[in-house]
């Protein structure tokens, strides 16, 4: 990725959360390629290590902090360790997410709690932990990776859609609350993505034929908008969720 003028992140310190989807490598790598030092937080069975390898290719400092994203104490401790190393945090990317498909009437209370905690409460806790430093510095960029399901429904995914909708509202409301303190809070609403590319010559599947783009996206498709939203060039962009979905919402 060629970093456009004004999007340079050299000297910036970024934190990104990891999950099991395999997206973190693309996103952390893009931040590092643009010049940022990167700290990755997540569980031991997340894609944190793969993301660290990807980000380390660009010569910037990359650290990993094993973190329970469901625990305030664990998140607070990880962020403090990162601050001890980086001294400050300029960018927070809330990337960690889980998906869940089940008919609404069959969803258990435990399943509801686990998904809402991992998808939404983890963002609430991480924003609070990092926000202390950003508020003191009177600057910062928070980017919440969400989904087009934040504004549309989907069969067998009521809880997942609800968690994405909560992230959408947190993004808008927190941007209002912290905007005058120099903090920009925005979201990236991802469409259907896969870490694998369709082999050349293979016919599009049913989902691909539904999408106006005629293809499923890749996490790399989110990287340039992520770098922009992490840069000082987006100073006048706040409280927005930008949907990168191959036209899925336009189709709907």
Lowest mean pLDDT among 13-27, 198-212, 232-246: 198-212
Residue 1 in domain: no
Residue 3 in domain: no
Residue 207 in domain: no
Would you say 102 and 52 are in contact if contact means Cβ atoms under 8 Å apart?
Answer: no
Domain that holds residue 94: 13-192+218-251
Residue 94 in domain: yes
Lowest mean pLDDT among 29-38, 141-150, 206-215: 206-215
pLDDT digits (tens, 9 = 90+) for 156-182: 899 999 999 999 999 999 999 999 999
Which residue has 């992490």 as its token pair? 230
Residue 206 in domain: no
Best CA proximity match to 24, nearest among 157, 192, 175, 223: 223
Residue 200 in domain: no
Residue 209 in domain: no
Residue 127 in domain: yes
User: Distance between CA atoms of 80 and 124, rounded to whole angstroms?
Assistant: 17
Read off the tokens for 209: 């034929």
Q: Is 64 helix (H, G, I), strand (E, B) or coil?
A: strand
- Indicate the number of domains in the chain: 1
User: Distance between CA atoms of 26 and 117, rounded to whole angstroms?
Assistant: 24
* Residue 77 confidence (pLDDT) above 80: yes
pTM score: 0.94
Question: What CATH number does the domain containing 83 carry?
Answer: 3.40.50.720
Work out the pLDDT band at 199, boundaries 50, 70, 90: low
What is the model's pLDDT at position 67? 98
């Amino acid at each position: 990725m060629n970093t456009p003028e004004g999007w340079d992140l050299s000297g910036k310190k970024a934190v990104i959360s990891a999950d099991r989807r395999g997206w973190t490598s693309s996103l952390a790598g893009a931040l590092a390629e643009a010049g940022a030092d990167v700290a990755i937080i997540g569980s031991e069975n997340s894609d944190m290590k793969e993301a660290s390898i990807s980000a380390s290719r660009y010569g910037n400092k990359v650290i990993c902090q094993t973190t329970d994203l469901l625990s305030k104490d664990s998140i607070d401790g990880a962020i403090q360790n990162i601050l001890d190393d980086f001294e400050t945090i300029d960018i927070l990317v809330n990337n960690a997410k889980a998906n869940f498909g089940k008919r609404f009437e069959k969803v258990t209370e435990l399943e509801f709690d686990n998904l809402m905690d991992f998808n939404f409460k983890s963002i609430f806790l991480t924003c609070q932990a990092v926000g202390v430093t950003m508020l003191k510095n009177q600057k910062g960029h928070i980017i919440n990776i969400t989904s087009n399901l934040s504004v549309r429904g989907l069969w067998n995914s009521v809880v997942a859609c609800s968690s994405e909708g909560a992230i959408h509202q947190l993004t808008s409301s927190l941007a209002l609350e912290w905007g005058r303190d120099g903090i920009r809070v925005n979201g990236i609403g991802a469409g259907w993505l896969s870490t694998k590319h369709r082999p050349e010559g293979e016919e599009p599947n049913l989902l691909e034929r539904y999408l106006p783009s005629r293809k499923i996206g890749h996490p790399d498709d989110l990287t340039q908008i992520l770098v922009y939203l992490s840069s000082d060039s987006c100073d006048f962009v706040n409280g927005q969720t930008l949907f990168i979905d191959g036209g899925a919402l336009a189709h709907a």
